[in-house]
Amino acid sequence: MDTDGLQFHEMGLDDRLLKALADLGWAHPTLIQEKAIPLALEGKDLLARARTGSGKTAAYAVPLIQQILTSKQTVREQAVRALVLVPTKELGQQVQAMIRQLTAYCSRDVRVADISGKADLSAQKPILMEKPDIVVGTPSRVQCHITAQNLQLHSSLEMLVIDEADLLFSFGFEADLKSLLCHLPKIYQAFLMSATLNEDVKALKELVLHNPVTLKLQGSQLPDSSQLQQYSIKCEEEDKFLLVYTLLKLHLVRGKTLIFVSTVERCYRLKLFLEQFSIPACVLNSELPVHSRCHIIAQFNQGFYDYIIATDEQRLEGPTTSSQKTQEKGKKKKNSGKSGKGKDVEYGVSRGIDFHNVSNVINFDFPTCADSYIHRVGRTARADNPGTALSFISQIELPFLAEVENALTGDSTDCALKPYGFKMEEIEGFRYRCRDAMRSVTKQAVKEARLKEIKQELLNSEKLKTYFEDNPRDLQLLRHDKDLHPAVIKPHLRNVPDYLIPTALKGLVNPLNRRKNRKQKLNAGAVMRSSFKKNFRSKNPLKNFRYTRKEPAEKKARKS
């Protein structure tokens, strides 16, 4: 079937679905949607590889909804007809939101439930008892519900989707997935969506798919240099803080920005450092409750915040063998009462999440493998939007840079990281300010900030959950970028003195404000001159002088 140039209205979709697509402003399907939707509607299994931001979610969501609407014309019985497996809770929430948007005009006929986000199985049981048409969840959560007999799939399931398939094994879902597949019917239609086709995806293909159509739509995993500009700066630890301060405070980096660091501790260290200069930023990591994480992402997409400091916490830091995975699981069990106690093993923001209109990605800590770099940088330059990726690279991180450059140049010569033309000597004047700020960001301050943030977000997430359900407007007012203030704040660091701004940057730093200041100075000078002229005229002693002649004493005597 030739699908070149197919539009949504030519795919035989339900009018209610077409109306929802029009409301979303999707005039034309993306390449993956154009190729995948007609094949899926024919009932074929699909293995689709397309880069991040290419519209993979809608590529499987549209045929799912269409086939459920078609089957309901003949079969009225309510049952779970489609299962969407995702590697992270954040992605689960996003997929549910997308399906709800697409079913805006047929929500009574097609119901969707996300069971990945909540911790309590009993709270989700009533939702599953209603037998939603589409269930979205992580493999471990779905398996838990099957074991608890809250969910039955062996008789009703018609379609299975595995989103971000290359991540499922790396997130430790191998055993859950294999166990889950035993509870599925013998015949069902399956879709595997992935940004890469690695060994894990090939293993999944053998387990799940039957005579699939393979779609490899983009050779490069990242957009070319006309859409995505990638730069690197070689600098040491102290210089990283100096650079990020200069770029953000002088507004050299503009638009929404994701700053990736390697650990949770680094998240709070950087947040406290930026607080010293009145630069607000949100923290996003695995210790925060899932409701808070999803709320932060939603508000960032709506434009509430400009900066998010996020971490992937080594989750995507390179391929692991099955023996390494079992060793890691053993370590996790041993350390479950220690450092990993509050962390969510189903957390992930560097991959899959659709951050809207991200202009820049800053790798404050450089990732240790090419896959992790691609996943991070893939948050910007999505769809047809331009983006910039800037990486800070210390001496220790140079081998990782070489690995990433080899992987990218293997993909395309366009993808290599270019040196960022920034003269460090021009910002030396700011170094003493950064050192002054770093003195306040002690280990104890970071620890206190971490505890304060978790307590605050737990309160917002759980205790106020019912209140926010009744008062949704108040939820919009809830902010996540407030100052934590466990460190001593020095007020003088808030402002940037004019004499510290490098000459080369003076035209770039707030040019509108500088123009206003110049106008105000000129206006003030004009007022002074005009008022001086008026005062000069009215108080000129030569013009105002009145001479009165004094009479001699003899004359006065005669008169008297």
* pLDDT, tens digit, 9 for 90 and up, residues 101-141: 999 999 999 999 999 876 688 889 999 999 999 999 999 99
At 222 the pLDDT is 82
Q: Which of 42-56, 324-338, 505-519 has the highest mean pLDDT?
A: 42-56
Kindly indicate the confidence band of residue 384, based on its pLDDT and cuts at 50, 70 and 90: confident
Q: How sure is the predictor about 462, in pLDDT bands with cuts at 50, 70 and 90?
A: low
Task: Give the Cα separation of 69 and 13 in Å (integer).
Answer: 10
What is the predicted pLDDT for the residue at 324?
A: 42
337: confidence class by pLDDT, cuts 50, 70, 90: very low
Give the 3-state secondary structure of 148-199.
CCCCCCCCCCCEEEECCHHHHCCCCCHHHHHHHHCCCCCCCEEEEEECCCCH
User: By CB neighbour count within 10 A (0-12 exposed, 13-18 middle, 19+ buried), where does 531 fall?
Assistant: exposed
Hey, what are 401's tokens? 């840079």
Copy the structure tokens of residue 310. 């996020």
pLDDT at 340 over 80: no
Gap between the Cα atoms of 361 and 413, Å rounded:
21
- Residue 175: predicted pLDDT: 85
Average the pLDDT over each of 27-36, 246-255, 307-316, 509-518 and give the range with the smallest value: 509-518
319 confidence band (pLDDT: 50, 70, 90): very low
Residue 333: which pLDDT band, with cuts at 50, 70 and 90? Answer: very low
**Per-residue b/e over 437-472, b at no fewer than 16 CB within 10 Å?**
bbebbeeebbebbbeebbeebbebbeeeeeebeeee
Find how far residue 500's CA is from the centre of its chain. 33
Neighbours of 307 (CB within 10 A): 22
Is pLDDT of 328 > 90?
no
Query: pLDDT band for position 522 (50/70/90)?
Result: low
Residue 181's nearest CA partner among 83, 67, 64, 45 is 83
From edge to edge, which strands make up the β-sheet containing 159-162? 112-114, 134-137, 82-85, 159-162, 189-194, 46-49, 213-216
pLDDT band at 183 (very low <50, low <70, confident <90, very high): very high
Residue 535, pLDDT above cutoff 60: no
* pLDDT-wise least confident of 329-333, 471-475, 503-507: 329-333
User: Helix or strand or coil: residue 351?
Assistant: coil
More confident call, 291 vs 297: 297
What pLDDT score does 498 carry?
82
- Residue 481's pLDDT is 74
User: Could you tell me where the beta strands, DSSP code E, fall in 235-306?
Assistant: 256-261, 282-284
Q: Could you give the angle at the alpha carbon of 507 between the alpha carbons of 504 and 511, nearest 5°?
A: 155
Q: What is the pLDDT of residue 510?
A: 57
- Decide: helix, strand or coil at residue 275: helix
Please report the pLDDT score of residue 336 as a whole number.
Answer: 40
Q: To the nearest 10°, the Cα dihedral for 100, 104, 107, 108?
A: 170
Instruction: Pick the closest to residue 422 from 236, 279, 247 (CA basis).
Output: 247
Residue 521 above 70 pLDDT?
Answer: no
Strands 159-162 and 189-194: parallel
**Residue 65 to residue 104: CA distance in whole angstroms:** 11
The residue ranking higher by pLDDT, 207 or 541, is 207
Q: Is the pLDDT of residue 558 over 90?
A: no
3-class state of residue 423 by DSSP: coil
Report the pLDDT value the prediction gives residue 199, as an integer from 0 to 100.
81
> Which residues 6+ apart lie within 8 Å of 534 measured at CB?
none
pLDDT at 169: 73
State mean pLDDT over 243-263.
Answer: 94
pTM value surpassing 0.85: no
Whole-number Å distance between alpha carbons of 197 and 51: 11
* Ramachandran assignment for 25, one of left (phi > 0), alpha (psi -120 to 50 degrees), beta (any other): left
Q: Which residue has the tokens 């957390």?
A: 347
What is the pLDDT at residue 359? 95
Evaluated on CA atoms 22, 23, 27, 33, the torsion sign reads negative
Euclidean distance between CA atoms 528 and 536, whole angstroms: 12
pLDDT at 198: 77
Between 515 and 172, residue with greater pLDDT? 172
Rounded mean pLDDT, 190-210: 86
d(CA 202, CA 205): 5
Amino acid identity, position 166: D
Q: Residue 349: what pLDDT?
A: 66
* pLDDT over 50 at 373, yes or no: yes
Share of the chain above pLDDT 70, in %: 77
Q: What is the mean pLDDT of the chain?
A: 82
Residue 518 in this model has a pLDDT that exceeds 90: no
Mean pLDDT calculated for residue range 472-478: 68
pLDDT of residue 13: 96
Measured on CA atoms in the order 164, 92, 117, 269, is the torsion positive or negative?
positive
